[in-house]
Chains A and B, each alone.
Chain A
Amino acid sequence: AQSVTQPDIHITVSEGASLELRCNYSYGATPYLFWYVQSPGQGLQLLLKYFSGDTLVQGIKGFEAEFKRSQSSFNLRKPSVHWSDAAEYFCAVGIYLGASKLTFGTGTRLQVTL
């Protein structure tokens, strides 16, 4: 069965600093990988996704993620964090038709200091 690990439960960065959120997955075949963001009291919003092709994918809000098969990782990055980026970030892996039956990581809560 597939699984997702997000090693960092809580990260604090200063506004304007760079950000990297880690995600490791376990899946026997080529995974379909996603990053979602959940702001307080909000639903989940898709930031970006990877299925195949270029291993560096660009998403919304200035986020990007890099798929590294050799490391089973799909880390999320942003060069300069804004205070509005404070939220919970979830990495997820999907199988069957790409986006179905997602398995989520435990999430990383991002706090941004001014």
Chain B
Amino acid sequence: SAVISQKPSRDICQRGTSLTIQCQVDSQVTMMFWYRQQPGQSLTLIATANQGSEATYESGFVIDKFPISRPNLTFSTLTVSNMSPEDSSIYLCSVVDVGHNEQFFGPGTRLTVL
């Protein structure tokens, strides 16, 4: 299975600022996703991070708020821009092992916006 790391593991930020979350995978993967888990809620897919092209966003999420980069097959970043307290969530990246039809998740980044 893929080993995924995320940085930072947690952060406390002021409203109006931005935070970039990094996701690193120990092997090359084709498909990588970013999810949000709001307090006490389930996971919601934000976007698919596409290598070499613009990310594909789900309904309700826009690039200006959540810009995503995917410079290669092992790394991606998600930026949460112009943060408000409503952005306080756990943000998780995930990768798909196509051969085994499994999706592996990183440990998450716990973001608190004051």
Contacts and interface: CB of A to CB of B under 8 A. Distances in A.
Interface of A: 32, 34, 36, 42-44, 46, 49, 51, 90, 94, 97-107
- Most chain B beta carbons < 10 A, residue from A32, A51, A100, A103: A100
Interface stretch (B14-22, B37-45, B62-70, B71-79): B37-45
B42 A46 contact: no
A51 B101 contact: yes
A49 B102 contact: yes
B103 to A, nearest CB: 4
B107 A99 contact: no
Contacts of B96: 97, 99-100
Nearest to B59: A1
B35 to A, nearest CB: 8
Interface majority SS (helix, strand, loop, mixed), chain A:
loop
B61 to A, nearest CB: 13
Given A43-B107, A101-B48, 15 more contacts: A32-B101, A34-B103, A43-B106, A43-B108, A46-B102, A46-B103, A46-B104, A90-B42, A97-B31, A98-B98, A98-B101, A99-B97, A101-B45, A105-B42, A106-B42
7 contacts: A32-B101, A44-B43, A44-B105, A98-B98, A101-B45, A104-B43, A106-B42
B33 A101 contact: yes
A106 B4 CA distance: 24
B98 A97 contact: yes
A113 to B, nearest CB: 22
B45 A102 contact: yes
A44 B92 contact: yes
A102 B103 contact: yes
B102 A99 contact: yes
Contact of A49 (B48, B101, B104): B101
